[in-house]
Structure formats: C-alpha cells, structure tokens
Amino acid sequence: MTVAAFYYQGNDWNKLSDDIMIDIATNAYIKLLKTDPEHLSASTELSERITAIAHSSERTYAQIHAAADEIAEKYNLPYGIALPSISEESQYNPILARGTPLSHTTTVNMTELAMRLRAQKQVVRNSWEQLGDRSVVVIQTEDGPMVYWENHAGNRARKFIHGIEARMESSMTAEAELKAINLLKTKVTERQFRCYMLNNAFVERSPKSDLFYFFRKGLPVIAFSYHGYEAGKILACLCIHPYGYFEFTHAGVMCPTDEVIGQLLLMRASEKKFWAKAGQWSPSDPRSGL
C-alpha cells in the first residue's frame, strides 16, 4: 500500500480494484529499480512455471531447466536464465550483474568470510584480510564482540571444489564451451590461443595503458604492471562476470570461455569501464584466485 500510495495521484482509493493496485505497485517497482518490464514478465512467468512443477507429482531439475530455456527464448534472452546450481547436498545461488535479465546483485564491501557468516544470521561488526594468509571477522555475541578467523588455504580449496560442483549441477554443456573456444580462436592470435589451450590462460598487453592482462579460464583477470617495477607487480585481480556468478565460488553462470571473451572485448573497448565493472581483489585475497 505504501508504494502504491506514493505513485497514485488521485484521492478516491475505494474505487481502486486489486488489479489496478497491482499495476500501480508494479510500475513503481519498475521505476525504482529501473527494471525492464519484459524481464519482470519473464521473472513472473518463470516463478509460475517453477511453482507448477513444485506441485506436480514428478519433479526434476531437467523440467526446471527446460522451462527456463523456453522462457528465455520467448523473451529473447540470448544468454538464457541463470538458475541456482542445485544438488542433493548443496545449492549455489547466482549473483547477477546489474542490468542483466532477472538480476538481483548485491554490493560486495566486506570479506568473503564475513559474507558467509552474515548468511548464517551472524551479526558482523567488522572484517579484514590479514597478512599471514587469513581472514578476520569480528562478530557480535551475547557476551560481546568475538574475533573469528579462517586460513585462506582452506577457503581456496573450498572455492575450487564448490566451483566444480556449481558448474556440474548447472545447465552448462560441453558443446557450449567448445563453441565458445572456437569463437575465442577468431578473437586472439595463434600464440595466445595455443597458450590458452595449454595453460587455460593467455596474456594481452594494452597499447593504451601498457598494462598486461592475464585472462584466465574460470578465474579473475590478473592486471600486471612494469611501470616503476623492474620485476613487475600485480596491481589487482579483476573479477568480472558479464552475466553473473555462483555465490562463494569463482564459477560464472556462463560457460568459462564465454566469460573470457566478454572480459577480453570489454578491456579492448574501454579499460576504464573494465576496471569500473570489476571487483578488484588484492593478490592476498582468496577471491583473487591466486
């Protein structure tokens, strides 16, 4: 009612039907969040389809994937619809980039350990990365503030394993990845492509900034500089997923090489936007993938 009241300019509320109220609230939502009405329709239809599947006697993940594919085709969503990666033991929720269909991204301004603890309903007061390869979080308890820490080695191993699980339980296919690899071959030099096939990574120097970017399959891009550093220095690891990623993993919701192509083309087109769109992690942060 509050949202509808903000947008309704009349004063005869008794004549407003439920449908009109829903329309007013929907328009308010679209304006406030700058959501494409078509994307909102796709989201609503997907929700209805999944609800129907949930109430059926036989339910499979394949039915949900098929429904998502049909709706993506109907609403002309070229990259499909990113769904949570679900298995019997775990679930990885996709975090989608702003402006993408069905996006619900959040701003990351804390350590990943703090994000996990907050998801467990812990009250986080502060968090930081500490030399010695560990994350430190201060949480509020009934007995006052308590310091909790975690070594990065365990976190890196967990992210690696969870990334594998998320991709394998998603709707990605080997055929889609092979198509992306063939497309990448047309975008890079023969030497870069050979390096990618042998090492899952290749480097490209920007003629504009003279920075070197290491594009890695399934991992953040390493930005490397020789400006003032004889042996070179890692400036940051740039985590950018054109569509979105599975929470607490390095796995994007697109095929890995599709993401590499998106990163490469954005860097070539506008380094400024490339840096602005990316999460910028230090090499010591487990989210850097180093």
- If you ran DSSP here, which 8-state letter would residue 252 be given? B
Mean pLDDT of 125-139: 73
More confident residue, 134 or 21: 134
**Strands (E) located in 25-122:** 85-86, 91-92, 94-96
> What is the layout of strands, in order, in the sheet containing 212-216?
201-205, 212-216, 221-225, 233-239, 279-281
Average pLDDT over residues 149-168: 82
pLDDT category of residue 104 using cuts at 50, 70 and 90: very low
Residue 223, CA atoms < 13 Å, CB-side half-sphere: 22
Mean pLDDT to the nearest integer, 97-113 = 59
Query: Is residue 83 scored above 90 in pLDDT?
Result: no
pLDDT of residue 90: 58
Q: How far apart are CA 26 and CA 13, in angstroms?
A: 17
Give one word for 222, left, alpha or beta, with left for phi > 0 and alpha for psi -120 to 50: beta
The pLDDT score that the predictor gives to residue 232 is 87
Burial class (CB in 10 A: 0-12, 13-18, 19+), 69: middle
pLDDT of residue 185 exceeding 70, the answer is yes
